[in-house]
């Protein structure tokens, strides 16, 4: 059994590990979902605040109308000539003044709320625009993710089938040794000898061993430096 089969198995396994890691690291839209959720929460909070402001404005409008009506009635009574008691007229005059001050206070609050409503409207537009952009980005990311997953899964399936084909040509005992070495040596169990040097640890391989490996492709030999299985490439 040529050691080249082991080397090919090693190359397939390296590619398979890389493909599996690539699939695991694909962006499935999680960051965009998190951002969209934050923006949506912010938009909802602004909308709720804006609704509360509008509700308060409606209440103030009704209250101002009520105050205005009460003040108008008092003034009408004051100037109707029906009331001649000076103290009563003075009290009514004070009530009219108090209602005027209250109305002015309510109108000041309205002005402040109108400014707040304008600012909240701006915040809503900005948050909605941001949410639309994030959702569009998420849609693009999910589309890219689906295509990348499909392509990567096809690659993994092809590599898995290739591994099974190559592994079937290797002795089971040697496969077990190979798997143990992979676990011990960071995933690399088989290395090439290039210019008399081990590709794994860069230790020089004895010339006699190199010659034997070149003559006998079935020879299984390990590097004295790192213990990996050595192979001479064509």
Q: Over pLDDT 90: what percentage of the chain?
A: 86
Q: Note whether 97 and 201 are same-domain residues.
A: no
Q: Which residue has the higher pLDDT, 85 or 189?
A: 189
Could you report the per-residue pLDDT of 153-182, keeping only the tens digit for each? 999 999 999 999 999 999 999 999 999 999
Give the whole-angstrom CA distance, residue 217 versus residue 8.
14
Q: Which residue has the higher pLDDT, 125 or 233?
A: 125
**Neighbour count for residue 3 (Cβ, 10 Å):** 23
Q: Note whether 42 and 78 are same-domain residues.
A: yes
Q: Note whether 104 and 188 are same-domain residues.
A: no
Assess if residue 130 is contained within a domain. Answer: yes
Q: Note whether 140 and 31 are same-domain residues.
A: yes
Assess if residue 113 is contained within a domain. Answer: yes
Q: Note whether 39 and 129 are same-domain residues.
A: yes
Q: Note whether 196 and 134 are same-domain residues.
A: no
Q: Note whether 46 and 126 are same-domain residues.
A: yes
Adjacent-strand bridge partners of 191: 230
Per-residue confidence (pLDDT) for residue 57, from 0 to 100 = 97
Q: How confident is the model at residue 124 (pLDDT cuts 50, 70, 90)?
A: very high
Q: How confident is the model at residue 49 (pLDDT cuts 50, 70, 90)?
A: very high
- Whether the per-residue pLDDT at 196 is higher than 60: the answer is yes
Assess if residue 53 is contained within a domain. Answer: yes
- Whether the per-residue pLDDT at 92 is higher than 70: the answer is yes
Mean pLDDT within 75-103:
88
Q: Over pLDDT 70: what percentage of the chain?
A: 99
- Whether the per-residue pLDDT at 84 is higher than 90: the answer is no
Nearest partner of 123 among 55, 35, 47, 38, judged by Cα: 47
Q: Note whether 68 and 109 are same-domain residues.
A: yes
- Whether the per-residue pLDDT at 1 is higher than 60: the answer is no
Assess if residue 155 is contained within a domain. Answer: no
Q: Which residue has the higher pLDDT, 16 or 92?
A: 16
Q: Note whether 193 and 108 are same-domain residues.
A: no
Per-residue confidence (pLDDT) for residue 177, from 0 to 100 = 94
Q: Note whether 119 and 35 are same-domain residues.
A: yes
Mean pLDDT within 135-147:
97
Q: How confident is the model at residue 225 (pLDDT cuts 50, 70, 90)?
A: very high
Assess if residue 209 is contained within a domain. Answer: yes
Asked if residues 99 and 71 have their Cβ atoms less than 8 Å apart, the reply is: yes
Give the whole-angstrom CA distance, residue 106 versus residue 132.
38
Per-residue confidence (pLDDT) for residue 3, from 0 to 100 = 80
Assess if residue 132 is contained within a domain. Answer: yes
Q: Angle, nearest 10°, between helix axes 172-184 and 3-24?
A: 50
Give the whole-angstrom CA distance, residue 136 versus residue 142.
10
- Whether the per-residue pLDDT at 128 is higher than 90: the answer is yes
For the chain, what is the domain count? 2
Mean pLDDT within 71-79:
88
Asked if residues 178 and 189 have their Cβ atoms less than 8 Å apart, the reply is: yes
Assess if residue 9 is contained within a domain. Answer: no
Structural domain of residue 37, as residue ranges?
27-144
Assess if residue 156 is contained within a domain. Answer: no
Q: Note whether 181 and 91 are same-domain residues.
A: no
Per-residue confidence (pLDDT) for residue 2, from 0 to 100 = 66
Q: Note whether 58 and 108 are same-domain residues.
A: yes
Q: What is the mean pLDDT of the chain?
A: 94
């Amino acid at each position: 059994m040529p050691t080249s089969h082991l080397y090919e198995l090693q190359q397939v396994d390296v590619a398979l590990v890389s493909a599996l890691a690539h699939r695991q690291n694909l962006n499935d839209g999680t960051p965009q979902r998190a951002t969209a959720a934050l923006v949506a929460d912010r938009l909802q909070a602004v909308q709720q605040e804006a609704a509360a402001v509008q509700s308060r404005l409606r209440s103030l409008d009704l209250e101002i109308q009520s105050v205005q009506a009460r003040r108008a009635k008092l003034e009408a009574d004051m100037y109707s000539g029906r009331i001649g008691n000076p103290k009563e007229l003075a009290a009514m005059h004070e009530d009219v003044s108090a209602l005027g001050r209250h109305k002015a206070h309510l109108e000041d609050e309205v002005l402040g709320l109108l400014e707040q409503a304008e600012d909240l409207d701006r915040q809503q537009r900005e948050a909605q625009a941001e949410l639309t952009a994030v959702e569009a980005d998420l849609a693009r990311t999910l589309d890219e993710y689906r295509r990348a997953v499909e392509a990567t899964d096809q690659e993994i399936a092809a590599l898995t089938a290739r591994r099974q084909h190559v592994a079937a040509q290797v002795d089971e005992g040697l496969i077990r040794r190979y798997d143990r070495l992979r676990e011990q040596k960071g995933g690399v169990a088989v290395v090439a000898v290039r210019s008399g040097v081990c590709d794994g640890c860069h230790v020089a391989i004895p010339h006699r061993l190199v010659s034997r490996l070149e003559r006998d492709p079935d020879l299984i030999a390990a590097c004295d430096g790192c213990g990996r299985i050595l192979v001479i490439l064509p």
